[in-house]
Amino acid sequence: MQISSRFTIAIHIFACVDTFKDQFKLTSDFIAGSVNVNPVIIRKILQQLKAAGLVTVARGTGGVEAARPLETITLLDVFRAVDSIEDGQLFHFHENPNSACPVGRNIHYGLDDKLQSIQLAMENSMQGITLADVVRDTQRRIANEEA
Amino acid sequence: MQISSRFTIAIHIFACVDTFKDQFKLTSDFIAGSVNVNPVIIRKILQQLKAAGLVTVARGTGGVEAARPLETITLLDVFRAVDSIEDGQLFHFHENPNSACPVGRNIHYGLDDKLQSIQLAMENSMQGITLADVVRDTQRRIANEEA
DNA sequence: TTCGCTGTAACTATTGACATTACATCGAAG
DNA sequence: CTTCGATGTAATGTCAATAGTTACAGCGAA
């Protein structure tokens, strides 16, 4: 199974917000046009980002803004905000190993810490990348395109 | 979404094979009893492990063996063998960003390399852990249990 | 008070994971 | 050379999550 596209969509949202914040009002419809999904999908993700304190969404008038400078928001923040994995556990351990079997009874002890360290490696890597990094590289490419 | 339990089941299979190889014949039914899933699930995973050259499965008479010493099989080998993620891509990028939008057209350039580096961090971590590590710790716990 | 937009419920389609039954086929042992 | 236990695999079903879509109540500013 892959990690839900909510994650890349959320990043895309930030890229749009930052790139167009001076030119357009950032409505869910506008963003949905760039991402190419249904506006309701965008609104749901915006709710998750808002709950995590990463964006502000203006009711009534409409419009999205980043709640913090993009340098201070890491990909891990976004990843957790959109709840890309269940219970924070990357790996789905088979539910009921047989406790009547020595291996079934003890496999968790041999494996849990290793799975955890793998997940930690991934999360550390995510934490080292900020939205500013992604947006900068994207906008640089846009600028080159026009040249 | 979480990574399929096929991954932890495959590791469990190796732990059973190594632990019981001198006492029992390792049939899919026997292993299924320890993992506590349907034997057909075990057989399917065994097919994937066999295709990757990690185990040998005896037709007719039955029985599973590891094809290589467990010290030489990393968790990454197992992960890839059981096809835990599609196309080898950990992240599901939203399918059709709007190419009429500068951001939609260029978001891949800003993001792809970062997603790749995160996946690489995870895979490197997996590569540093062998089945021997997992089996050793599990068997050590079994031994302590009996003391 | 109107109007555009958000927030959210409800419903559907699709997909993958996992479970289960059934059976053809294999290989060794009697 | 037949029997028997086991594998290989197709077919089918259930369930959960993703993602799409429609519909509409509620908000806030002009």
Contacting A residues, span 46-85, partner chain B, CB-CB under 8 Å: 75, 84-85
State the pLDDT at residue B115.
97
Within 10 angstroms of residue A105's Cβ, the number of other Cβ atoms is: 17
> What is the structure's pLDDT at B139?
96
Mean pLDDT within A73-85: 91
Q: Residue A34 corresponds to which tokens in the numbers above? A: 């760039």
Q: What is the DSSP letter of B74?
A: B
Nearest Cβ partner for A142 among B106, B117, B134: B106
Segment B44-48 mean pLDDT: 96
**pLDDT digits 0-9 by tens, B64-120:** 999 999 999 999 999 999 976 767 899 999 988 999 999 999 999 999 999 999 999
Tell me the helix, strand and coil percentages in chain B, rounded to 5: 60, 5, 30
Nearest protein residue, CA measured to C1' of D10: B40
Q: What's the rounded mean pLDDT across residues A65-93?
A: 91
DSSP bridge pairs for A55: A66
Which token pair is B19?
């632990």
* pLDDT tens figures, A103-115: 999 999 999 999 9
Instruction: Report CA torsion sign: B120, B121, B122, B126.
Output: positive
Residues 6+ apart with CB under 8 A from A7: A78, A79, A82, A84, B91, B92
Question: Which chain B residues are Cβ-neighbours of A95 within 8 angstroms?
Answer: 5, 36
Calculate mean pLDDT across residues B14-29: 95
**pLDDT for res B84:** 67
Domains of chain A: 6-146 (1.10.10.10)
Give percent helix, percent strand, percent coil of chain A, each to the nearest 5: 60, 5, 30
More confident residue, A1 or B129: B129
Q: For chain A, give the mean pLDDT.
A: 94
Q: B15, A107 in Cβ contact below 8 A?
A: yes
Phi, psi of A116 (to 5 degrees): -65, -40
Percent of chain A with pLDDT over 90: 87
Least confident range from A59-73, A84-98, B59-73, B96-110: namely A84-98
Closest-approach nucleotide to residue A86, Cα vs C1': D17
Mean pLDDT of chain B: 94
List the single protein residue with the shortest CA to C1' distance from C27. Answer: B60
Going by C-beta distance under 8 Å and a sequence separation of 6 or more, which residues neighbour residue B22? none
Taking residues B136-144, what's their average pLDDT? 95
- Distance measured from the CA of protein residue A36 to the C1' of nucleotide C13, in angstroms: 18
pLDDT of residue A145: 81
pLDDT given at position B1: 77
How far is residue B52's CA from residue B85's CA, in Å, rounded to a whole number? 15
**Residue A43 in contact with residue A8, Cβ under 8 Å?**
no
- A5, pLDDT greater than 80: yes
* Maximum CA extent, chain B: 69
Any idea how long chain B is? 147
Would the CB atoms of B104 and A12 count as touching at under 8 Å?
A: yes
Q: Give the pLDDT mean for A75-103.
A: 90
Confidence band for A130, pLDDT divided at 50, 70 and 90: very high
Q: Is the pLDDT of residue B35 over 90?
A: yes
Angle at A28 between CA A22 and CA A29, to 5 degrees: 95
